[in-house]
Amino acid sequence: MAQNKPTTDEHYIPQCYLKQFSSDGERIYQYDVLSGKQTPVPVPTKSVCYQKHLYEFRDSSGAFAYRNLIEKSFGIYEGEFAKTFRSVISKSRIEANYHTLCFLSPKEKALLVFFLSTMIVRNPDILQTAQETALEFFGDQITEISARNLALQTCLPIYKALDTEERNLLNPVMWFFEDMSFQIGVADSEVFFTSDSPVILFGTNQPVKLDEVIMPISPNIVLFMKPYDNTRRGFYNRLTELRPEDIKYVNKAVVTHCKRWIYSQTPLTDKQIKWITKERASY
């Protein structure tokens, strides 16, 4: 029996997320904010937001070791992420849920926090920074291959049982989201797009503190997170209808924080492209 070929194109933005912005579950439109060009036809989600061998460990000779270990772990988690997205989208269509004080279940909240956290630490720039930090710290005592392996192990310990006491980067990133409230905002039409950097963080650097988190979930649903305030507890974990100014605020955050690519369910109009260009120029 032939063995399955190992995965080589490893995505830093999961397909299970990008597919929420696809009309057919497979393809998506993309717009390049650097060149100002939009693809004339939608492209497969598997063909965007990846790097070859991004999450692979190597031995001292440079050969792959534990091939696809992290990638396979992501595959398991992403199945749960996809279920959570579908659940949130489905529940958001039920009018009675606008009146509940606990819209998201504890499991849904936990999975969304884990998704946000892994999206941050699986970013190629973060992995590269971790590798460079290891090289700088250990100097001649470490090779580039060993530094890369250490960066993967430190940022993405998802291939083993997670230990909250373990010293890694994933744990403190998840702690950033402790004591934050959840709100799911719903637009009355499909107005949101996303990007190659869809988790948008607002906050101060010293000390590290998150003031707000935004992530579009679908073309008409967005997640907001803010520090929890016990005096306003009735406003948290709610499903809310969004105003035009809320929609503009979300899309502005998306276009000003993207690295290069904006992704959408339908082609961007000339009016949208002009607005994107203006917002990025003034940011």
Asked if residue 17 belongs to a domain, the reply is: no
Q: Which of 59, 45, 40, 54 is nearest to 6 (CA)?
A: 54
Same domain as 147, residue 133: yes
One domain, residues 81 and 171: yes
Answer yes or no: is 226 within a domain.
Answer: yes
What element of type H or E holds 184? strand 180-186
Q: Are the beta carbons of 180 and 225 closer than 8 angstroms?
A: yes
Distance CA 212, CA 129 (A): 24
Do 67 and 166 belong together in one domain?
yes
Task: Judge whether 13 and 124 are in contact, CB under 8 Å.
Answer: no
pLDDT in tens, 212-224: 999 999 999 999 9
Residue after which a domain boundary falls, among 178, 208, 231: 178
- 145: containing domain: 52-178
Q: Is 283 helix (H, G, I), strand (E, B) or coil?
A: coil
Is 226 in the same domain as 239? yes
Residues 145 and 163 in one domain: yes
In this predicted model, what pLDDT tens digit does every residue of 151-174 receive, in sequence order? 999 999 999 988 888 889 999 999
- Contacts with 142 (C-beta within 8 Å, 6 or more apart), sequence order: 134, 135, 150
Rounded Cα distance between 38 and 180, Å, is: 36
Q: Is the pLDDT of residue 207 over 80?
A: no
Largest CA distance in the chain: 62
The answer to whether position 42 is within a domain reads yes
**Model pLDDT, residue 182:** 95
**Percentage of residues of the chain with pLDDT beyond 90:** 87
Q: Are residues 46 and 184 in the same domain?
A: yes
Per-residue pLDDT of 3-40, as tens digits, reads 679 999 999 999 999 999 999 999 999 999 999 999 99
Domains contained in the chain, number: 2
pLDDT over 50 (residue 2): no
Q: Are residues 42 and 68 in the same domain?
A: no
Residue-wise pLDDT for 108-132, tens only, equals 999 999 999 999 999 999 999 999 9
pTM: 0.94
Q: Note whether 164 and 198 are same-domain residues.
A: no
* Peptide bond preceding 207 in cis form (omega within 30 of 0): yes
One domain, residues 209 and 246: yes
Note the pLDDT tens digit of each residue in 43-75: 999 999 999 999 999 999 999 999 999 999 999
**CA-based Rg of the chain, rounded to a whole angstrom?**
20
Using the 3D structure, point to which of 127, 150, 178 is the last residue of a domain: 178
- Please check whether residues 92 and 72 belong to one and the same domain: yes
Q: What pLDDT does 205 receive? A: 63
pLDDT of amino acid 89: 97
Share of the chain above pLDDT 70, in %: 95
Q: Are residues 185 and 278 in the same domain?
A: yes
Residue 32 located in a structural domain: yes
Cα–Cα distance for residue pair 71/19, rounded to 1 Å: 18
5 within some domain? no
If asked whether residues 91 and 119 sit together in one domain, one would say: yes
For residue 218, is it within any domain? Answer: yes
Asked whether residue 15 is domain-assigned, the answer is no
Last residue within a domain, chosen from 178, 212, 244: 178
Q: Is residue 113 included in any domain, yes or no?
A: yes
Q: What is the mean pLDDT of the chain?
A: 93
Is the pLDDT score of 145 beyond 80?
A: yes
What pLDDT shows up at residue 183?
95
